[in-house]
Amino acid sequence: MKLEEDVAEAITKRLEKFSRKWRELSEQRRDIAAKMVILCEMAGGRDKAAAALDVSDNTIDNYRHGSREPKHRVLATLLEHVDLPLSALTSRWIFEGQDLRFLDADGTISDEPRPAARYDDPPVAYVPGYDDVARPQGFAEPDELTTSALFPWYRSQLSLEPKQVLPVIAPDAAMEPAIPKGSPVFVDIGDRELTDGAVYVVDLEENRFIRRVRRMDNGSVELLAEKAEAYPPKRIKKAGVARLQVVGRVRFPDVG
């Protein structure tokens, strides 16, 4: 995507300034800090970004320096503010001249972020069997009303922000009987803090898991399945917890 000349110049200057502070950061942390720099300038500068997020200028500086990692909802707010989709977070950003491009995991470079069902907010969530029980009497075939009503209904029941909840299909039987394999799970992507005892969707070793979190006294984290005999615990050392890819907390079914 082509950026305005003044915005591109501001981004170039800010990246040159802040990247000097990133040498000791992990690759992931550098990537997030660079995205914050670019988003802030696309939003009109530090002051306007701070106003959009309702945070202090110092907080913005901490994000850009990489000394503090922004929560997912911070990035989501800025993306919405500059009219970029949430799927942009799954790409590596390439900034050259006035052009901002997006490098996907498969090596494809695009001028615009490619849609990703994992992060983007779908307008309709269809659950098999829902039409059978919810279709008004007299309708012989499934209708658009019943297939599209489920997702907003669950949002209202869970008291979640509409753009912070996503449907995810359970990838395995580890959390049965509460979460059968292949069943829809509603995930709060605004909650990624790993509360002890809560259930989260995480990406680890290029695989997706739904597991209960156990925080250990030494700072490490264990990811536990209900079927422990078939799905052994996965332990994340303290140093690796910050790099764990947390999609969000499971809000439905209610598993704690």
Tell whether 17 and 103 lie within a shared domain: yes
Give domain status of residue 116, yes or no.
no
**pLDDT tens, position by position, 213-233:** 999 999 999 999 999 999 999
Tell whether 67 and 138 lie within a shared domain: no
| Positions of the chain with pLDDT lower than 70, given as ranges | 105, 115-163, 256
The confidence score (pLDDT) of residue 121 equals: 43
Beta bridge partners of 199: 212
The confidence score (pLDDT) of residue 157 equals: 56
Tell whether 28 and 95 lie within a shared domain: yes
> CA 175, 178, 184 angle in degrees (round to 5)?
85
Tell whether 168 and 217 lie within a shared domain: yes
The DSSP bridge pattern shows strands 234-236 and 245-252 to be: unpaired
Beta bridge partners of 103: 92, 109
Tell whether 172 and 224 lie within a shared domain: yes
Beta bridge partners of 215: 221
Tell whether 99 and 142 lie within a shared domain: no
**What is the rounded distance in angstroms from the CA atom of residue 102 to the CA atom of residue 111?**
6
Tell whether 64 and 142 lie within a shared domain: no
**CATH number of the domain bearing residue 194:** 2.10.109.10
**Per the structure block, which two tokens stand in for 141?**
């075939």
Tell whether 178 and 215 lie within a shared domain: yes
Give domain status of residue 119, yes or no.
no
Question: What is the total count of domains within the chain?
Answer: 3
The confidence score (pLDDT) of residue 108 equals: 85
**pLDDT tens, position by position, 91-138:** 889 999 899 999 876 788 889 887 654 444 443 444 444 444 333 343
The confidence score (pLDDT) of residue 93 equals: 93
Give domain status of residue 117, yes or no.
no
Beta bridge partners of 250: 187
Give me the domain span that covers residue 143.
129-159
Tell whether 57 and 17 lie within a shared domain: yes
The confidence score (pLDDT) of residue 145 equals: 37
Using DSSP, state whether 128 is helix, strand or coil: coil
Tell whether 151 and 212 lie within a shared domain: no
Tell whether 51 and 89 lie within a shared domain: yes
**pTM here?**
0.50
**What is the rounded distance in angstroms from the CA atom of residue 191 to the CA atom of residue 246?**
9
**What is the rounded distance in angstroms from the CA atom of residue 111 to the CA atom of residue 4?**
15
Tell whether 178 and 223 lie within a shared domain: yes
